[in-house]
Amino acid sequence: AQSVTQPDIHITVSEGASLELRCNYSYGATPYLFWYVQSPGQGLQLLLKYFSGDTLVQGIKGFEAEFKRSQSSFNLRKPSVHWSDAAEYFCAVDPNAGKSTFGDGTTLTVKP
Amino acid sequence: DGGITQSPKYLFRKEGQNVTLSCEQNLNHDAMYWYRQDPGQGLRLIYYSQIVNDFQKGDIAEGYSVSREKKESFPLTVTSAQKNPTAFYLCASKMTRPGGYNSPLHFGNGTRLTVT
């Protein structure tokens, strides 16, 4: 069965600083990979997705993620964080069976 | 605009009562899902349905039931058998045709259920 690990429960960065959120997955083949963002009391919104091809994918709100097969990772990055980026971020894997598995999430706090 | 509507946003019930959470979508998606979210535990799959009149148990189905009589609707009933029902419940859907299951999930804004 597939699994997703987000090693960092909570990350704090200063506004304007760069950000990297880590995601490691376990799956026999190359899965479909997603990053979602959740504001408090809301549903999840898709940031970006990877299916195949270019391993660096661009998403909304200036986010990007890089798929590294050798490391089974799909880390999310942003060069300059804005206060509105404070939220919880979830990495998910879908092995094309319709059932996504989510990591436990990383809460991002942005300091002024 | 198309989307997923969950109602109500907040729900309070007494222990021992069954309660039904509503989920409606107008995205014309075939597949629908119910997730439970607890602090620090991410999202756990309760039930999912890939087509009308069919559904499958997810990882934590005990104490829950669903129906899928219409493509647009996928209500979740939290029964009195669910030992710890207080949680945030999220409904989601995804397009499964023509590209298969590699499309992302679309989420509603959730229902926060409190059972006392």
pLDDT along chain A (112 residues), means of 10: 92 97 88 93 94 91 95 96 97 80 95 94
- pLDDT score recorded for residue B39: 84
A98/B94 touch (CB, cutoff 8 Å), yes or no: yes
Three-class SS state of A82: coil
E strand residue ranges, A29-100: 32-38, 44-50, 56-58, 64-68, 73-78, 87-94
Q: Minimal CA–CA distance to A81: which of A90, A89, A73?
A: A89
Determine the Cα–Cα distance for residues A21 and B2; give it in Å rounded to an integer.
30
pLDDT at B77: 97
User: How far is C-alpha B53 from the geometric centre of its chain's CA atoms?
Assistant: 15
pLDDT at position A35: 97
Spell out, as residue ranges, where chain B has pLDDT lower than 50. none
How wide is the angle at C-alpha A104 spanned by C-alphas A98 and A109, nearest 5°? 125
Q: What is the pLDDT of residue A78?
A: 98
Angle (CA) B43-A28-A22 rounded to 5° is: 50
pLDDT of residue B6: 97
pLDDT for the residue numbered A66: 96
Query: Best interface-test mutation with B: which of A3, A52, A74, A100 has the largest number of B CBs within 10 A?
Result: A100
Q: Which residues contact B19 (CB under 8 A, 6 or more apart)?
A: B11, B13, B77, B78, B85, B113, B115
Looking at residue A8, its pLDDT comes to 95
pLDDT of residue A107: 96
pLDDT at A27: 83
What pLDDT score was predicted for residue B100? 63
Query: Backbone phi, then psi, for A6, in 5-degree steps?
Result: -115, 105
Which among B107, B111, B112, B113 is the top mutation candidate for probing chain A, defined by the most A β-carbons within 10 Å of its own β-carbon? B107
